[in-house]
Every structure is written in structure tokens, then in C-alpha cells.
């Protein structure tokens, strides 16, 4: 969590903190921190902030249990804004919403929100098991979901060879949906796959 750029606190000794979901990239909230809150965050690994309304240090989730494990703290180029990448243990908003940004222009969702949203829908289907759900049928049949991934992969390959860009987009969407269902059936997530890809990424100074 160390940075060569010093935090530039404002006249009140505060710095704005944008809180972002480590796994999905979705923005969860905007808050403020002082030097003590940053020190407590670094020492504990859980997000600490400064409550301007109460005028006191604030351990996020201390009362509700919805703590946020901090995976990284990043500063902007001027050092006067902080980005906290967190793994939330529950809703980020005091209203019980997953994110504080649940009003305004919500449709269409931003591209980076689509796959995390689909993943949450699959988790809900697995938990709630609505009657007649195609997703539940796939989750209950490992052989079927494996066959569907193979089928959809062949179809997108054929579309890439012979069909329009629109068909490629649609067949690729089918692949992604079925692949996410397969991952869900094994208790795996997009973040697990992303970690593997990150491990394969060329590091600075290494051959590509």
C-alpha cells in the first residue's frame, strides 16, 4: 500500500476516498479520511474513515458487520484524492444497498458492470432456485453445462469464420453466459479466473 506520492490533505486534514470493489471494479461510495484513519487502515487491513457528520474516526462496518478489507490504496497524480480497492463483506451503503450510487442514470449499465451483475444473478438463481429456470437446470447438470460451453464455443468460432460481426457478438455473449454458469456450478468466480490471467501477465522487465 506504499506510494511515493504524499497524501495532500485539505485544510481540515481530510482527503476524499473513492471506494471501489476490488473484484468487480464498481464504485461503492465516496467518503473522507484523515491521517489517523489512513494509519488505522494500513495497520488493520480494513477500511477506516473520518465521519464529518459525527466528527470521529469511523471503522467501516464495525457496527453492521459490513466491513471492507482493503486490497490496495492508490493516490491520484496530485495526491489529493485516494482510491481504496476493497473486498466488501456486505452492502456498502447505510441503506442496505450494495453501492451508494443506486439512483440516477442506471440504464443502460456501464460495460464493466454487466458481467458482475450477471454473476450476482446466477448466485441468486442458485440460492432461490426458481421453477423453470434454465440457469438452475444447467447448474444441476455438470455434463449438460460442459456440453453447452463446447457447443457455444464452436458456434462463435463458426460465426467468426462465416458470419457477420453482429452474429459474432451474439455468439460470444452466449459463450460468456454459459461459461459463467459453469464457473458458478464449481463455486468459482470471475475474480478467480482474472487472478490466473494476472499471473500470466508479463511483468516489467520480463520478455512478453
Q: Domain with 164 in it: what CATH number?
A: 1.10.287.1080
Domain count, the chain: 2
How does strand 68-75 pair with strand 15-21? unpaired
Question: If residue 102 lies in a helix (H) or strand (E), which one and from where to where?
Answer: none
State the CATH number of the domain containing residue 36.
Answer: 3.10.20.810
For residues 121 and 176, membership in a common domain is answered with: yes
* Residue 106 is assigned to a structural domain of this protein: no
For residues 126 and 169, membership in a common domain is answered with: yes
Kindly report the pTM of this predicted structure. 0.80
**In the listed set 54, 88, 122, which residue is the last one of a domain according to the structure?**
88
Dist CA 23 CA 42 (whole Å) = 20
Q: Evaluate the CA torsion angle 60, 65, 68, 69 in order and state its sign.
A: positive
For residues 121 and 66, membership in a common domain is answered with: no
Mean pLDDT across the chain: 94
For residues 78 and 142, membership in a common domain is answered with: no
- The SS3 assignment for 137 reads helix
Dist CA 175 CA 180 (whole Å) = 8
* Residue 105 is assigned to a structural domain of this protein: no
Dist CA 60 CA 67 (whole Å) = 5
* Residue 45 is assigned to a structural domain of this protein: yes
For residue range 42-92, what is the model confidence (pLDDT) as tens digits? 999 999 999 999 999 999 999 999 999 999 999 999 999 999 999 999 999
For residue range 3-47, what is the model confidence (pLDDT) as tens digits? 567 999 999 999 999 999 999 999 999 999 999 999 999 999 999
For residues 115 and 84, membership in a common domain is answered with: no
Range of the domain at 52: 14-88
Give the CA-trace dihedral at 163, 168, 170, 176, to 10 degrees: 140
Q: What is the DSSP string of 57-80?
A: EEETTTTTS--EEEEEEEE-TTSS
Is a pLDDT exceeding 90 seen at residue 203?
A: no
For residues 121 and 72, membership in a common domain is answered with: no
Q: Residue 201, Cα to own-chain centre: how many angstroms?
A: 20
Amino acid at each position: 500500500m506504499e506510494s511515493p506520492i504524499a497524501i495532500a490533505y485539505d485544510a481540515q486534514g481530510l482527503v476524499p476516498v473513492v471506494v471501489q470493489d476490488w473484484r468487480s471494479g464498481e464504485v461503492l461510495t465516496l467518503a473522507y479520511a484523515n491521517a489517523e484513519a489512513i494509519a488505522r487502515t494500513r495497520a488493520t487491513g480494513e477500511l477506516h474513515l473520518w465521519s464529518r457528520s459525527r466528527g470521529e474516526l469511523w471503522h467501516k462496518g464495525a457496527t453492521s458487520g459490513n466491513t471492507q478489507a482493503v486490497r490496495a490504496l492508490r493516490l491520484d497524480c496530485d495526491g489529493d484524492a485516494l482510491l481504496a480497492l476493497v473486498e466488501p463483506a456486505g452492502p456498502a451503503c447505510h441503506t442496505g444497498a450494495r453501492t451508494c450510487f443506486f439512483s440516477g442514470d442506471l440504464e443502460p449499465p456501464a460495460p464493466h458492470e454487466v458481467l458482475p451483475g450477471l454473476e450476482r444473478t446466477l448466485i441468486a438463481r442458485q440460492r432461490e432456485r426458481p421453477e423453470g429456470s434454465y440457469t438452475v437446470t444447467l447448474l444441476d447438470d455438470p455434463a449438460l453445462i460442459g456440453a453447452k460451453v463446447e457447443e457455444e464455443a464452436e458456434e462463435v468460432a463458426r460465426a467468426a469464420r462465416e458470419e457477420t460481426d453482429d452474429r459474432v457478438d451474439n455468439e460470444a455473449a452466449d459463450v460468456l453466459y454459459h461459461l459463467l454458469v459453469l464457473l458458478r456450478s464449481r463455486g468459482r468466480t470471475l475474480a478467480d479466473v482474472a487472478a490466473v490471467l494476472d499471473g500470466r501477465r508479463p511483468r516489467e522487465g520480463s520478455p512478453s
